[in-house]
Amino acid sequence: MEFKDVLPYIVSIVGSVVAGLWSYFGSRKQFKEEIKRLEKQHELDIEKERERFEMEKEKMEIEHKHQIEIMQKETENKMGTEIVGTFFAEAIKSPAVQKQIEDGINGKKSNRKNRR
């Protein structure tokens, strides 16, 4: 076999090897760029999630403070009502207040009789 007979095969093999290497290195470069792009996208997504988490956390803290304020006001109202109720109950038991109530009732009765 002579070199002339093998030459077409060598040319096609070398051409195939060059094309294969070119394709390999090109796809490898594209793959690295794609990985870098994905890493950057993931970093942005993570940052976005962190911000969303912080906003949710802040919202929950504000709601919690509001609930505490509502509970404190309800407790103050209940205590105030109980204090006022206790004050009036004790005041009505007092003989001086009972006398004033009786005088008021008797006074209204006498005013009604005088009007007629």
pLDDT tens-digit readout, 66-107:
999 999 888 877 776 777 677 777 777 778 777 877 787 777
Q: pLDDT for 19-40, tens place per residue?
A: 999 999 999 999 999 999 999 9
The pTM for the full model equals: 0.48
Rounded distance between C-alpha atoms, residue 106 and residue 116, angstroms: 16
Identify the domain containing residue 94 by its residue range: 3-115
Rounded distance between C-alpha atoms, residue 3 and residue 6, angstroms: 5
Number of structural domains in the chain: 1
Neighbours of 97 (CB within 10 A): 13
Encoded tokens for 20: 């294969």
